[in-house]
Amino acid sequence: MRRWLARLGAGFLGAGLLGAGLLGWAAASGASAQGFPTRPVKIVVPYTAGGTTDIFARLIGERMGQSLGQQFIIENRPGAGGNIGADAVAKAEPDGYTLVMATIATHAINPNLYPRMPYDSVADFTPVAFVAGVPNLMVVSPKTVKARTVAEFIAEAKASTRKFNMASSGNGTSIHLSGEMFKQATGVEMPHVPYRGSGPALNDLIGGQVDVMFDNLPSAVEQVRGGNLRALAVTSSTRSPAIPEVPTLAESGLPGFEATSWFALFGPKGMPPAIVARLNEEARKALDGPELRRRFAELGGDIRPLSPAELGAFAQAERDKWAVIVKQSGAKID
């Protein structure tokens, strides 16, 4: 009996120590979140510098860094349609110091397009904060294309003795698939030329090495305003306030055409909820500030204040939606 009581007492003591340990861990977690961050935070951009993903990461990273008192470092890790950079974050320490500027490609399209993925876009990540949604912009090189409307482009491309080359920021991006949807809808043959990001693709488009691109609006709009590129249409269902004079593809003879991109911060799976909540709060506060709100509006960015849970549900729904679109488009990895 005494031995049984001794064992029982030891059990209660062990449970008490375990409970105290859990309470201590929770308290430490809360305290670490309050002090977070104590060193620079890295945002991995899975594409080259100069594209929309890079632009948005630098804009929000700078503002969050100012608010939190630590630098947010942008690291460009392009390749495999964004998979290389996203995979690096999926395998990083889940301490809140490594994030990825995820895109519709890395978290919705690629899982349906690539036969083998290095990560699971749902199970291997922690949703942190939605940044913005944007339409794509159909732009052509004035050096090689005469058309000023979508109808004129279709006629010119079909009558040309050579095929117009279609640039993209990489296989499987919304930029690539927007072009594939256009080809399917119009019957225009345009060989796909994938780049490792929008920056180098735009440079070649401006130079006339390629002819057309369905780029994210933020990275292309300044080149249109500067006269280096000609915009023919936007891929959204309604015109963009950033460039209201440009019609939609649906208005231009392709009813029902719609393809938009989005960008969001994700971290590795297993991030402490308190740190996720802190980062989400800071991102939403930054995006709600007058400076970023104005800048994103100029770039055609649609800001949505989603919670981490809402972002997770949104990303899953997008993955399901693009499974159908990828199958219908017939898009394949080159």
CATH number at residue 224: 3.40.190.10
Per-residue confidence (pLDDT) for residue 174, from 0 to 100? 86
Q: Could you tell me if 47 and 126 lie in one domain?
A: yes
Token pair for 269: 């799976």
Region of 284 please: left (phi>0), alpha (psi -120 to 50) or beta: alpha
pTM over 0.85: no
- Tens of pLDDT, residue by residue over 93-124, are 999 999 999 999 999 999 998 889 999 999 99
**Is the residue at 19 inside a domain?**
no
Name the DSSP class of 249.
Answer: T
- Total domains present in the chain: 2
Segment 23-32 long-range contacts (CB within 8 Å, at least 24 positions apart): 29/272, 29/274, 30/274, 32/272, 32/274, 32/275
CA distance linking residue 295 with residue 67, whole number of Å = 18
| 165 and 216 part of one domain | yes
Pair (91, 112) in one structural domain: yes
Q: Which domain holds residue 178?
A: 135-234
Query: Which residues of the chain, if any, have pLDDT below 50?
Result: 1-31
The radius of gyration computed from the CA coordinates of the chain, to the nearest angstrom, equals: 23
Neighbours of 74 (CB within 10 A): 16
Q: 137-154: per-residue pLDDT in tens? A: 999 999 999 999 999 999
Pair (128, 267) in one structural domain:
yes
Give domain status of residue 1, yes or no: no
Residue 30 lies in a domain: no
Residues 158 and 227 in one domain: yes
Residue 332: its pLDDT value, please? 67
Question: What pLDDT is recorded for position 259?
Answer: 85
121 and 148 co-located in one domain? no
Q: Are residues 67 and 125 in the same domain?
A: yes
**Cα-based angle 254, 258, 262 (whole degrees, multiple of 5):** 155
Residues 99 and 172 in one domain: no
List residues bridging with 87 in a β-sheet: none
Residue 84, H or E segment: helix 83-90
Same domain, 277 and 224: no
**Tokens 């969050």 sit on residue:** 64
In a domain, 24, yes or no: no
Same domain for 91 and 167: no
What per-residue confidence (pLDDT) applies to 32? 59
- Residue 125, beta-bridge partner list: 268
Residues 104 and 174 in one domain: no
Same domain, residue pair 195 and 223: yes
Both tokens of 214, joined, read 């369905």
